């Protein structure tokens, strides 16, 4: 099955928001269409987090915030050994966590 | 609106409790009640600040349970849950109840017993504060959000790991003077940063934040008793006036903020509190800030208006925020060393200000304080409450 | 003269290289000396551990009771190739680790007991124990189990250890986890610290071992509120 992570595009003013809000932050409209979070972006900040929830068995997780070329920002996991702020990254969707025994899919970024 | 006074204040010791959350909160509440001379007057309402009793302690309806445990019926009772800012939110609600004239005597108790579960579960439970679909699913924890924030802040303003360590060292040393603090252990720059052994003593939790940049997981409770200022003299010789409140919210997902280093809710909450009190940041004698992570003390000290942008770490470096400095910050030891039982924290910050304003802070007493400021930071800054207290006449 | 029956009861010994003492600066500015305990120190160690055998907190009871038995076995020559390292701060005992050589190539990690918490003394001592097995005893691998789930998780992930469930660990027959030479040397820069040699004066300070104040120790370990409620 194909997994996507969706942002919301306001049908009235065209602003894309991620995550979704009930009212459009730009114009107040409640009418949205789904638009996939995808493509490239620039790494704004990141961390290697070592104290992890029990369902992870890694020494650390690399997490970051990316400024997407689509004009939104997104938080996700980084598949990047030596991240640095300002590097270009590409988004994909993959397994990010097990919640109650089910695999959850979300954004993963790798360097381009 | 009537003016509102704090007529009683109390806190338990923070640390790891071997008894129930209710007993912990009852002890703090009892301390606040007996701190005033009520002459048989009954408490009209109880506000309880707590974040996780239903999950961590298998007790829901914690406000009703506390009234029952203490035998305070038929007082009105409400639980206030605003994450780590539950405490100040509950005090604010108690304030509103008294100020409106609805109630005269209001008890506000905040408590949390997080050590009933292990540290990993406690961190996981606190991470429920993050955005479920845009943050939580990635394994985001509060330390991770703080780490990403710290990297941005440090790059922008030239703050170093040494500055972060200075916050920790200062707050550990303040906590040594606070008998109720959780961590009573001095730490040294050499031991946590500079020696070759420091890497192991002080490992990364969420880069660039290390172990000693993060608050411990604590149990504890704190309580205050509120009354109309005009009646306060009947109950206590040393009333403390609640002169300002401010509260504001911000986006839940940190990445959505136009500039993630700008804590808009902190700025607005502080401004509102100063406006209500008719005071300026320079009028403040001491402050309790929400240093769940060392970087937050530096950031908040600027964004509430104490220091110009980008200079919080310089003030810290100069010793201005030490107990004997120009603006002592976190005389109690802060969340960093006094401990951070989430529901108790906001109330306990206010309790520290009360002790200081009454001149009862013992070895950590600030000289002749007049106005105290507290900042209680919920989520990762998405719901913030600022409080200003003034020494009563 | 050891009588013949006693001699027969004593397990045979392998030659064991000594662990060279080192010192570690702790977060609070104090210095932890890590050094081998000598057998004539067994009594004081037993005395210190004794009251912890009933402390139902983070598995202190089972760790202390087993460690007590192991040290007694060591003192009475009933354990093969056992060693014991102590962590000492200003002469006062801060922690104990022990283990033994199963054979020349394989080591068994027994226990890690920290008497002072919040300073990562357990982590430092566990690392010292791994250092001893691999670098000084020259072994290929160490078999490990943990009694506490959090301790287990920490070591498994931090080093990280590998499963070797074909081996029942001596402690209760739990499936063993293994630290190999290779994983050790990978983790070494991150986890193993300390300075050698220990200046003579500092080393002298770690003899004789002083007992920590019992009440302070219990409050420390329990991390409990001292106030009566």
What's phi and psi for C187, nearest 5 deg?
A: -85, -20
Give the pLDDT band of residue B233 (cuts 50, 70, 90): very high
The answer on pLDDT for C221 being more than 90 is no
Mutate to test the interface with B, among C23, C26, C188, C218 (most CBs of B within 10 A): C26
Give the pLDDT band of residue C3 (cuts 50, 70, 90): confident
pLDDT at C227: 41
Inform me whether the C-beta atom of residue C123 falls under 8 Å from chain B C-beta atoms.
Answer: yes
Separation CA B195–CA B341 (nearest Å): 32
The answer on pLDDT for C222 being more than 80 is no
* Domain extent listing, chain A: 1-36, 38-111
How large is the greatest C-alpha to C-alpha distance in chain B, in angstroms? Answer: 61
Residue B205 contacts residue B161 (beta carbons within 8 Å): no
Overall average pLDDT of the C209-227 stretch: 79
Inform me whether the C-beta atom of residue B253 falls under 8 Å from chain A C-beta atoms.
Answer: yes
To 5 degrees, how large is the angle CA B88–CA B90–CA B95? 90
- Show the domains of chain C with their CATH numbers: 14-222 (3.40.630.30)
Nearest one of B275, B307, B276, B277 to B289, comparing CA atoms = B307
Half-sphere exposure of B380 (CA within 13 A, CB side): 29
pTM recorded for the entire structure: 0.95
Kindly state the percentage of chain B with pLDDT values over 70: 100
- Exposure of B94 by Cβ count < 10 A (0-12 exposed, 13-18 middle, 19+ buried)? buried
Nearest one of B277, B368, B382, B375 to B330, comparing CA atoms = B375
DSSP string, B125-147: HHHTTS-TTTTGGGT--HHHHHH
Give the pLDDT band of residue C164 (cuts 50, 70, 90): confident
Residue B328 contacts residue B322 (beta carbons within 8 Å): yes
Look up the CATH number of domain B4-118+221-235.
3.40.47.10
B16 contacts in C (CB within 8 Å)?
Answer: 222-225
The answer on pLDDT for C228 being more than 50 is no
Residue B108 contacts residue B226 (beta carbons within 8 Å): yes
Helices (H) and strands (E) in chain B, counts: 15, 11
Could you tell me how many residues make up chain B?
393
**C-alpha distances out from residue C112 to B120, B201, C80, C128, C138, Å:** 21, 17, 19, 11, 21
Rg of chain A on CA atoms, in Å: 15
- Partners of A36 in beta bridges: A6
Inform me whether the C-beta atom of residue B141 falls under 8 Å from chain A C-beta atoms.
Answer: yes
B354-381 per-residue burial string, b: 16 or more CB within 10 A, e: under 16: bbbbbeebeebbbeebebbbbbbbbbbb
Residue B160 contacts residue A57 (beta carbons within 8 Å): no
- Partners of C32 in beta bridges: C24, C89
Separation CA C123–CA C117 (nearest Å): 10
The answer on pLDDT for B172 being more than 90 is yes
pLDDT per residue as tens digits for the range B336-377: 999 999 999 999 999 999 999 999 999 999 999 999 999 999
Give the pLDDT band of residue C167 (cuts 50, 70, 90): confident
C224 contacts in B (CB within 8 Å)?
Answer: 15-18
* Pairwise CB contact (< 8 Å): A58 & C158: no
pLDDT at C225: 59
pLDDT at C117: 87
* Pairwise CB contact (< 8 Å): C229 & B12: yes
pLDDT per residue as tens digits for the range A18-62: 999 999 999 999 999 999 999 999 999 999 999 888 788 888 999
pLDDT per residue as tens digits for the range B101-132: 999 999 999 999 998 888 888 888 899 999 99
pLDDT per residue as tens digits for the range B246-286: 999 999 999 999 999 999 999 999 999 999 999 999 999 99
Q: How far is C171 from chain A (nearest CA, A)?
A: 24
Residue B293 contacts residue B161 (beta carbons within 8 Å): no
Give the pLDDT band of residue C172 (cuts 50, 70, 90): confident
A63 contacts in B (CB within 8 Å)?
Answer: 138-140, 144, 148
For C152, name the nearest residue in chain A, comparing CA atoms only: A57
Residue B167 contacts residue A89 (beta carbons within 8 Å): no
Mean pLDDT over all residues of chain C?
91
Q: How far is C108 from chain B (nearest CA, A)?
A: 24
Kindly state the percentage of chain C with pLDDT values over 70: 96
More confident residue, C202 or C175: C202
Mean pLDDT over all residues of chain B?
96
CA B367 centroid distance within chain: 22
pLDDT per residue as tens digits for the range B44-56: 999 999 999 999 9
Q: What does the block give as tokens for B256?
A: 């959505």
pLDDT at B66: 98
Overall average pLDDT of the C59-63 stretch: 92
pLDDT at C157: 85
- ipTM at complex level: 0.97
* CATH 2.40.50 at A38-111, yes or no: yes
The answer on pLDDT for B301 being more than 70 is yes
Q: What does the block give as tokens for B160?
A: 């170093």
Instruction: Kindly state the helix (H) or strand (E) to which residue B152 belongs, with its residue range.
Output: helix B142-157
C153 contacts in A (CB within 8 Å)?
Answer: 54
Mutate to test the interface with C, among B14, B27, B179, B195 (most CBs of C within 10 A): B195
Q: Is A86 left (phi over 0), alpha (psi -120 to 50) or beta?
A: left
CA A62 centroid distance within chain: 13
A45 contacts in B (CB within 8 Å)?
Answer: 148-149, 151-152, 260
Nearest one of B162, B189, B390 to B294, comparing CA atoms = B162
Separation CA B219–CA C152 (nearest Å): 25
Separation CA A49–CA C169 (nearest Å): 32
Instruction: Kindly state the helix (H) or strand (E) to which residue C185 belongs, with its residue range.
Output: helix C181-191
- Partners of B110 in beta bridges: B49, B222
Inform me whether the C-beta atom of residue B149 falls under 8 Å from chain A C-beta atoms.
Answer: yes
Could you tell me how many residues make up chain C?
229
Separation CA A66–CA A7 (nearest Å): 14
Query: How many Cβ atoms sit within 10 Å of the Cβ of residue A110?
Result: 11
pLDDT at B19: 87
Instruction: Kindly state the helix (H) or strand (E) to which residue B273 belongs, with its residue range.
Output: helix B264-277
- Partners of A46 in beta bridges: A64
Give the pLDDT band of residue B316 (cuts 50, 70, 90): very high
**Chain C window 143-162: which residues touch A at a Cβ cutoff of 8 Å?**
153, 156-158, 160
Overall average pLDDT of the A88-95 stretch: 97
Overall average pLDDT of the B27-43 stretch: 96
Mean pLDDT is lowest, of A98-102, B179-183, C188-192, for: A98-102
Residue B193 DSSP symbol: I
- Which chains reach chain C with 3 or more Cβ–Cβ distances below 8 angstroms? A, B
Residue A98 contacts residue A54 (beta carbons within 8 Å): no
What's phi and psi for B357, nearest 5 deg?
A: -70, -25
To 5 degrees, how large is the angle CA B372–CA B142–CA B9? 30
Overall average pLDDT of the C30-37 stretch: 98
pLDDT at C224: 64
- Partners of C84 in beta bridges: C98
* Pairwise CB contact (< 8 Å): A57 & C158: no
A46-64 per-residue burial string, b: 16 or more CB within 10 A, e: under 16: bbbbbbbbeeeeeebbbbb
**C-alpha distances out from residue A49 to B142, B143, C65, Å:** 10, 8, 36
Q: Is the peptide bond before A19 cis (omega within 30 degrees of 0)?
A: yes
Nearest one of B370, B382, B297, B288 to B91, comparing CA atoms = B288
> How are beta strands A88-99 and A102-111 bridged, if at all?
antiparallel
Residue C74 contacts residue C84 (beta carbons within 8 Å): yes
Separation CA C67–CA C96 (nearest Å): 9
Nearest one of B142, B82, B99 to B230, comparing CA atoms = B99
pLDDT at A1: 63
B210-219 per-residue burial string, b: 16 or more CB within 10 A, e: under 16: bbbbbbbbbb
């Amino acid at each position: 099955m194909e997994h996507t992570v969706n942002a919301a595009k306001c049908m009235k003013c065209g602003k894309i928001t991620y995550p979704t809000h009930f009212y459009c932050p730009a114009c107040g409209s409640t009418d949205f269409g789904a638009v996939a979070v995808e493509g490239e972006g620039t790494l704004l900040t990141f961390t290697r987090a070592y104290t992890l929830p029990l369902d992870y068995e890694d020494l650390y997780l690399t997490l970051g915030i990316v400024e997407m070329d689509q004009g939104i920002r997104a938080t996700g996991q980084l598949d990047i050994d030596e991240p640095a702020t300002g590097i270009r990254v590409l988004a994909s969707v993959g397994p990010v966590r097990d919640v109650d025994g089910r695999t959850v899919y979300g954004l993963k970024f790798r360097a381009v | 609106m009537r003016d509102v006074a704090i007529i009683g204040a109390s806190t338990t010791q923070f640390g790891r409790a071997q008894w129930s959350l209710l007993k912990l909160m009852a002890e703090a509440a009892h301390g606040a009640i007996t701190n005033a001379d009520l002459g048989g007057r009954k408490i009209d309402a109880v506000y309880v600040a707590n974040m996780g009793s239903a999950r961590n302690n298998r007790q829901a309806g914690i406000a009703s349970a506390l009234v029952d445990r203490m035998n305070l019926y038929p007082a009105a009772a409400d639980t206030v849950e605003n994450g780590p800012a539950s405490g100040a939110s509950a005090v604010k609600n108690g304030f509103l109840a008294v100020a409106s004239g609805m109630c005269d005597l209001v008890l506000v108790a905040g408590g949390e017993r997080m050590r009933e579960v292990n540290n990993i579960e406690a961190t996981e439970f606190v991470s429920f504060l993050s955005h479920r679909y845009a943050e939580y699913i990635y394994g985001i924890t509060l330390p991770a959000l703080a780490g990403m924030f710290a990297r941005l802040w440090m790059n922008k303003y030239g703050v170093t790991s040494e500055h972060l360590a200075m916050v920790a060292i200062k707050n550990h040393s303040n906590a040594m003077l606070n008998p109720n603090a959780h961590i009573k252990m001095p730490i040294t720059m050499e031991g946590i940063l500079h020696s070759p052994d420091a890497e192991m003593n002080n490992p990364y939790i969420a880069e660039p934040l290390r172990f000693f940049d993060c608050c411990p997981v604590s149990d504890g409770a704190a309580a205050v008793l509120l009354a109309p200022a005009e009646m306060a003299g009947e109950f206590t010789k040393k009333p403390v006036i609640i002169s300002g409140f401010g509260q504001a919210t911000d986006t839940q997902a940190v990445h959505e903020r136009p500039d993630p280093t700008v804590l808009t809710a902190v700025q607005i909450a502080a401004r509102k509190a100063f406006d209500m009190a008719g005071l300026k940041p320079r009028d403040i004698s001491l402050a309790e800030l929400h240093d769940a992570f060392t970087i937050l003390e530096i950031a908040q000290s600027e964004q509430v208006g104490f220091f110009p942008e980008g200079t919080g770490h310089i003030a810290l470096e100069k010793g201005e925020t030490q107990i004997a400095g120009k603006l002592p910050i976190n005389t109690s030891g802060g969340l960093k060393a006094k401990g951070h039982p989430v529901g108790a924290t906001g109330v306990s910050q206010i309790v520290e200000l009360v002790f200081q304003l009454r001149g009862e802070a013992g070895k950590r007493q600030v000289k002749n304080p007049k106005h105290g400021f507290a900042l209680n930071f919920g989520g990762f800054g998405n719901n913030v409450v600022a409080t200003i207290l003034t020494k009563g006449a | 003269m050891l009588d013949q029956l006693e001699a027969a009861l004593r397990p045979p010994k392998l030659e064991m290289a000594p662990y060279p003492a080192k010192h570690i600066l702790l977060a609070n500015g104090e210095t932890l000396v890590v050094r081998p305990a000598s057998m004539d120190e067994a009594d004081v160690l037993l005395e210190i551990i004794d009251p912890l055998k009933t402390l139902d907190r983070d598995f202190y009871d089972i760790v202390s009771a087993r460690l007590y038995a192991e040290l007694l076995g060591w003192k009475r020559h009933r354990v093969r190739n056992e060693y014991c390292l102590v962590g000492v701060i200003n002469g006062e005992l801060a922690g104990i680790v022990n283990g033994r050589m199963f054979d020349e190539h394989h080591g068994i990690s027994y226990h890690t007991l920290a008497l002072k918490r919040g300073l990562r003394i357990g982590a430092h001592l566990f690392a010292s124990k791994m250092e001893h097995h691999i670098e000084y005893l020259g072994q290929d691998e160490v078999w490990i189990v943990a009694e506490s789930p959090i301790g287990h998780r920490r070591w498994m992930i931090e080093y990280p250890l590998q499963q070797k469930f074909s081996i029942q660990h001596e402690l209760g027959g739990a499936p063993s986890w293994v630290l190999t030479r290779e994983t050790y040397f990978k983790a070494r820069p991150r986890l193993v610290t300390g300075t050698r040699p220990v200046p003579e004066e500092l080393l002298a300070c770690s003899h004789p071992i002083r007992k920590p104040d019992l009440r302070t120790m219990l409050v420390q370990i329990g991390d409990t509120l001292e106030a009566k409620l």
